[in-house]
Amino acid sequence: MKFNDIVVQNILRDKWTYISYFLSSVFSILVFFLFAITAFHPMLAAIDKNSTLGITMMFASFFIYIFSFVFIVYSIFAFLKKKTKTLGTFMITGASMKQIRTMIFRENMLIGGAAIVTAITLGLIISPLFLMIAKRVLQADEFGMYVPLAAMSLTVVLFCMLFVIVSKFITRFINREEAIQLLKADVTTEKIIASSPVKLVLSIIVSSVLVIAIKLQFTWVESLGMIYYIALIVSLLFTIYFIITQGMLWAIRIKEHRPSYYRKTNMLVVSNLKAKGRSNAHLIYLLTILLLGVFLCTSVLYSSYYNVKEKTESLYPYSFQYTSLPGNTLAQERQDISYIQSALAKAGPYDAYYSAFKTDEQRRIAFMSVSNYNALAFHENITLKDNEYYVAAGHQGVRPAIDLIHDYAVPKLQFAGLQEQNILLTGFQNVYYIVPDAIYEKLDFPVYKVFAFELQDWTNNIDVAHDILANINSNQDTHLIGSKIDLYATEKFVKSIMFFIGFMLSLIFLSAAMSILYFYLQTSLEGEKVKYAGIRKIGLSMREVSAVVTKELAMLVFIPFTLASILLVCVMLAMRDVISSTFYEMTAIGISIFLLLFIASFFMIRRSYLKKLLDVQ
């Protein structure tokens, strides 16, 4: 028999172990390929690679590939753990370590190649449906089917490299003595959790210092740049790890000293947790981090998708704002306004507003009469005494300076109030000082005329915005035009892509969490069967054993969910100054949906696992 025949026969002999590994690889590759199909779509070619959206797409692609790398490495480790006894058999029969490593390498390459071909084939089959869903999410009619040659090439090259590197690297972890010892031993025990209070306290202190530093905006944070954020993430990951492992150890010790330890099956539950405490803690840690990723993607990216209209209105108050500059001619101004009014009249009812202001063009500090201020919409009218002035914001989210007016040759005026929401396009002017009409008339600055229009049902009139902006372009010397309808369409598209990325990342994290749990249960199934068969012989009923297994599974499923929820709440509290109410609403809805999914998944996993473990129906 040739060496390659041995490789093939070895795969066929233990096909279910290999199928689990194969399917996990197919899933990882398929997710990356589908995302690549979207990222390389011709419609997205116009996106600036240096823009926030372009960087997000690149980061998401990189992140998905890194995740695939980590997930496949984890799958291979789980696969090798289950195959250790088989490898020990080959070693006892005379196979050298070089032959064993060659066999594992060829098996991995065979499975990897088949997984790449299968994933790309499945991707091509379901890509029309996938792109149709993406088309609905992105609300883009042009987002149709195409031949994804670039996505296919990138997927094949990257994952071929991944499997070659991983297969070569992973064989170095095969230990001859460990495999033979495992083959000879009837029972193996894993190392218990080591008590590490010093590491726990030290990690908490380091993480706290790094978090406080960014909250207080220390100068060294900005100087370190990306290095600081990497250190913060690594520190937080270590802190979470030590909290979970040490928390597990302390919980076991507390349980052992409680009177309830001797009641019913509690002793057996605690003993199982103690025996498998290290692997259970590692599993809970991985699931917690993955679920936290799911919750963050759901809360951050989904909430931004549903807050586009409010954000747009805060940046651009009006459907259209036409600003006539001092260099504009009266004829051009009338022609442009006439065209805007005729286009809006075809779209539906609209309101028109006229105002004006004078500005220090170098400092972009504007002065507006109280009459012109009251002529605008979306704020309450004000009245001013002859010795008062009012302040209105020029930038959204930036509190305007209230005392710069005193730098100008105006009578000594008293501050009368503040409008923190920008009254015109954000960033157009730094600040607007509202003064009495008599004082305004005496100011000697260039006059900017403002023609504002608010169209009813403006979110459904994107074509009107495109038509007007195509015929009236801004000119820095004569006139400027801006539209919240156009901004809304752009932001909606960007947020839709962000929503799509969030959906893909959520899918990856959630599927990975379930896959890791599945691998953990599968790799320990044979040993658990032997253990519970022995336990049943000493008198425990099927019902009692089922209760023990149910409690263990509930801990593995719901402890990570609870910890991830608590960590998400901590993140929300830390960012409470910069997040909106929509964030809290989407977070509550998302966690509730995931909780229902986890409850349903728990009962399905429990039924399937008990059936395999105890042969119950």
Instruction: Decide the pairing of beta strands 365-369 and 350-360.
Output: antiparallel
Give the span between the Cα atoms of 337 and 77, in whole angstroms: 69
429 DSSP 8-state letter: S
Q: Tell me the residue ranges of DSSP E strands in 456-583.
A: 479-482
Instruction: Decide the pairing of beta strands 350-360 and 447-455.
Output: antiparallel
Poorest-pLDDT segment among 356-360, 481-485, 518-522: 518-522
Q: How confident is the model at residue 436 (pLDDT cuts 50, 70, 90)?
A: very high
The pLDDT of residue 9: 60
The pLDDT of residue 164: 84
Find out whether 609 and 549 touch, Cβ atoms under 8 Å: yes
Find out whether 10 and 102 touch, Cβ atoms under 8 Å: no
Q: Tell me the residue ranges of DSSP E strands in 365-512.
A: 365-369, 388-393, 414-419, 431-435, 447-455, 479-482
Q: Which of 255-259, 360-364, 518-522 has the highest average model confidence (pLDDT)? A: 360-364
Token pair for 53:
């959206």
Is the predicted pLDDT of residue 209 greater than 60, yes or no?
yes
The pLDDT of residue 446: 93
The pLDDT of residue 396: 86
The pLDDT of residue 155: 87
Q: How confident is the model at residue 118 (pLDDT cuts 50, 70, 90)?
A: very high
CA distances from 17 to 21, 31, 75, 518 (A): 7, 22, 11, 12
Token pair for 78:
């789980």
Poorest-pLDDT segment among 54-63, 258-267, 303-312, 496-505: 54-63
The pLDDT of residue 179: 47
Q: What is the mean pLDDT of the chain?
A: 79
Long-range contacts, stretch 179-187, CB < 8 angstroms, 24+ apart: 179/84, 179/85, 179/87, 179/88, 179/91, 180/88, 180/91, 180/92, 181/88, 182/84, 182/85, 182/88, 183/84, 183/85, 183/88, 183/89, 183/92, 184/88
Q: Give the model confidence (pLDDT) of 137-193 as tens digits.
A: 666 555 666 778 888 898 898 888 888 887 777 666 655 544 444 444 444 555 677
Q: Which has more confidence, 551 or 300?
A: 551
The pLDDT of residue 49: 59
Provide Rg for the chain, Cα atoms.
32
What are the φ and ψ backbone dihedral angles of 154, each rounded to 5 degrees?
-65, -45
Q: Give the model confidence (pLDDT) of 216-267 as tens digits.
A: 767 776 777 778 778 888 888 889 889 888 888 888 888 877 777 777 777 7
Describe the strand order of the beta sheet including 388-393 as a list of residue ranges: 414-419, 388-393, 431-435, 365-369, 350-360, 447-455, 320-324, 479-482
Is the predicted pLDDT of residue 2 greater than 60, yes or no?
no
Is the predicted pLDDT of residue 52 greater than 70, yes or no?
no
Q: Give the model confidence (pLDDT) of 374-421 as tens digits.
A: 999 988 899 999 899 999 999 888 888 888 998 887 888 899 999 988
Find out whether 195 and 278 touch, Cβ atoms under 8 Å: no
The pLDDT of residue 112: 85
3-class DSSP string for 347-363: HCCEEEEEEEEEEECCC
Q: Which has more confidence, 201 or 260?
A: 201
Give the span between the Cα atoms of 422 and 313, in whole angstroms: 10
Token pair for 499:
């929503």
Q: Give the model confidence (pLDDT) of 532-580 as tens digits.
A: 777 777 777 778 778 888 888 888 888 888 998 888 888 777 766 656 6
Token pair for 436:
């009495």
Find out whether 458 and 485 touch, Cβ atoms under 8 Å: yes
Find out whether 340 and 483 touch, Cβ atoms under 8 Å: no
For residue 320, the surrounding DSSP H or E stretch is strand 320-324
CA distances from 314 to 67, 406, 456, 458 (A): 37, 28, 17, 15
Token pair for 126:
């379901």
The pLDDT of residue 282: 83
Pseudo-torsion of CA 581, 583, 588, 592, nearest 10°? Answer: 150
The pLDDT of residue 335: 93
The count of residues in the chain is 617
Q: Which has more confidence, 516 or 8?
A: 516
Q: Which residues lie closer than 8 Å to 106 by C-beta, 6 or more apart?
A: 4, 7
Q: Tell me the residue ranges of DSSP E strands in 470-598.
A: 479-482
Percent of all residues in the chain with a pLDDT value above 70, rounded to a whole number: 79
SS3 content of the chain, % helix, strand, coil (to 5): 70, 10, 20
Mean pLDDT of the 347-367 span = 92
In terms of Cα–Cα distance, which of 322, 320, 241 is closest to 287?
241
Q: What is the DSSP string of 371-401?
A: HHHHHSSSS------TTEEEEEESSTT-PPP
Which residue is listed with tokens 């009014």?
Answer: 341
The pLDDT of residue 325: 93
Q: Give the model confidence (pLDDT) of 524-544 as tens digits.
A: 777 777 777 777 777 777 787
The pLDDT of residue 177: 47
The pTM (predicted TM-score) of the whole model is: 0.68
Token pair for 31:
């997710």
CA distances from 219 to 212, 216, 223, 226, 577 (A): 13, 9, 7, 14, 21
Give the three-class secondary structure for 434.
Answer: strand
Is the predicted pLDDT of residue 468 greater than 70, yes or no?
yes
Mean pLDDT of the 424-444 span = 92
